[in-house]
């Protein structure tokens, strides 16, 4: 897809992968509606529109979609479900509220967003949905049961959805990053990039590579790993 002039909805735009992806999309000429709870810094651009949204709320997602159509345009060419929450801990010491927060953000949020945009994408017979999951959705890890469970769910949702909508000309891709230097789990990125982790810009570049694939090509899933991870 040539991204010039295309309308992209991007959740979790405030920082990390979302912020980097918004910047990369703008550099390619896209029109970006960035959804998030907090407005991002450093994305002032005539083709960027911040839309307040909490993807955990079905009502908030629907309002954000209506606001996007009013402020940006009726068509939706790309949806990137990037907003995510990671909370770690052993199962027997895990709070039920934290468990629900992760599922509301990581699983229910993409469902609400996909359901909002799919009618328009089907009318267009054109669209691309990217769900950002994780390599944690491919293998279970201790003290990550909740997070892994949500990302396994995103992968299953993505695989089912691509089979459901491919006949409508809609692509669905699940992107599974490995360890990324972001604010994940409350961490703060260091002043200097950690060469043992993926950088948000590298994941953004992968997302753009997928979006720019030829019209007849469906890349259904991509694993993204640091080349030389820490031991």
Cα Rg, the chain, nearest whole Å: 17
The one catalytic residue in 65, 112, 147, 183 is 147
25 close to 32: Cβ distance less than 8 angstroms? yes
Cβ atoms of 48 and 96 closer than 8 Å: no
Is 147 known to be catalytic? yes
Q: Which residue, among 181, 75, 88, 170, has the nearest Cα to 131 in the 3D structure?
A: 170
Active site residues: 147
């Amino acid at each position: 897809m040539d991204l010039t002039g295309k309308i992209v909805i991007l959740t979790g735009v405030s920082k990390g992968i979302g912020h980097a992806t918004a910047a990369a999309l703008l550099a390619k000429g896209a029109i970006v509606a960035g959804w998030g709870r907090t407005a991002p810094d450093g994305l002032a651009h005539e083709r960027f529109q911040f839309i307040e949204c909490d993807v955990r709320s079905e009502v908030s997602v629907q309002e954000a979609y209506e606001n996007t159509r009013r402020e940006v345009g009726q068509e939706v060419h790309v949806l990137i479900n990037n907003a995510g929450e990671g909370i770690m801990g052993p199962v027997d010491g895990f709070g039920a509220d934290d468990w629900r927060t992760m599922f509301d953000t990581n699983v229910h949020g993409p469902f609400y967003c996909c359901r909002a945009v799919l009618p328009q994408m089907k009318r267009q017979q054109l669209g691309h949905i990217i769900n950002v999951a994780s390599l944690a959705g491919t293998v279970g890890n201790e003290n990550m049961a909740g997070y892994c469970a949500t990302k396994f769910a995103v992968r299953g949702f993505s695989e089912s959805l691509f089979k459901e909508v491919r006949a409508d000309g809609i692509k669905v891709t699940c992107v599974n990053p490995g360890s990324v230097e972001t604010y994940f789990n409350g961490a703060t990125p260091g002043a200097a990039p950690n060469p043992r982790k993926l950088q948000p810009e590298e994941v953004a570049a992968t997302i753009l590579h997928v979006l720019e694939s030829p019209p007849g090509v469906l890349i259904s899933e991509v694993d993204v790993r640091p080349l030389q991870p820490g031991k």
